[in-house]
Chains A and B, each alone.
Chain A
Amino acid sequence: MLSKKEKQLIREIWERLTPVAEDIGADALLRMFASYPGTKTYFSHLDIGPGSAHLSSHGKKIVLAIAEGAKDISQLTVTLAPLQTLHAYQLRIDPTNFKLLSHCLLVTLACFMGEGFTPEAHAAIDKFLSAFAAVLAEKYR
């Protein structure tokens, strides 16, 4: 459950992340690959070493998609419809991995924002990312 204040906070934070989407996305992915090596299995077709172009472009894609969702959280199902189809029928990433990436995104944000990543911001974004992941997995079955 997200309050109006939390939705506003989420919108503002992700707006600030949009210009640095590549860095944020790549950082979160690298953290996920380091802590949860099983997640690398989904990227055997890409070069996911630190600094690689694939890593940056893929990280950017993910962060921008999340930022898009953050603009109007009440419309998540509409906004994510194409991505729902992509993940359900083509990518078929096990949804447990969404939790792992979400956690790593939170760590990236903590490193990036320092004390500015308050418990309130943490709670709001954690809830948002959980909702985002749930909507993303809706067409799986």
Chain B
Amino acid sequence: MKQLGLLVTMQPSVKEKNAAMVEWTEQERSIITNIFGNLDYEDVGSKALSRCLIVYPWTQRYFASFGNLYNAEAIKTNPNIAAHGTKVLHGLDRAVKNMDNIKATYAELSVLHSEKLHVDPDNFKLLADCLTIVIAAKLGSAFSPEIQATFQKFLAVVVSALGRQYH
């Protein structure tokens, strides 16, 4: 009977579960929706992915079937990479529209990346960093330290959610 009592108290309460969720201020929400609201997904998506493959060439291991990745020029003009970059950015859009529930939103994608695509989750951070640089190049000084910090917080939550279902 004592053991049962122990078991019951070990379950996290709803309050505790909610306390573990990511908190967003109004300012952070509007920073994120503003950035994504003004993005050309095709342009930024393709630039971010091709930059990742150029700056961190080992990431090319996941794109062996995508055609010519022989040098930076080939990567930058590869239509399969461009299309995939766009897909990734549209995937990010789902987090923007579900900021209070990113973990659940990406549960399926996390399983996909783990079980089917076999992507090392360290790679998510590499792509996130390249996306940050592409946005910075686009926005210039408008990409202030505070906006950068918020954007990186958002990407960190996304990266964490994508790695969540790996086992």
**Residues in A lying within 8 Å of B, measured CB to CB:** 27, 30-31, 33-35, 103, 106-107, 110-115, 117, 119-120, 122-123, 126
Contacts and interface: CB of A to CB of B under 8 A. Distances in A.
Q: What's the interface size class on B, roughly?
A: 20 to 34
Interface in B109-167: 129, 132-134, 136-141, 143, 145-146, 148-149, 152
A34 B133 contact: no
Contacts of B55: 119, 122-123, 126
Interface of B: 50-51, 54-55, 72, 76, 129, 132-134, 136-141, 143, 145-146, 148-149, 152
Please name the 5 residue pairs, one residue from A and one from B, whose CB atoms are nearest each other, closest first.
A110-B136, A34-B145, A119-B54, A34-B149, A110-B137
Dominant secondary structure of chain B at its interface with chain A: helix
B136 A111 contact: yes
A120 B148 contact: no
A50 to B, nearest CB: 8
Dominant secondary structure of chain A at its interface with chain B: helix
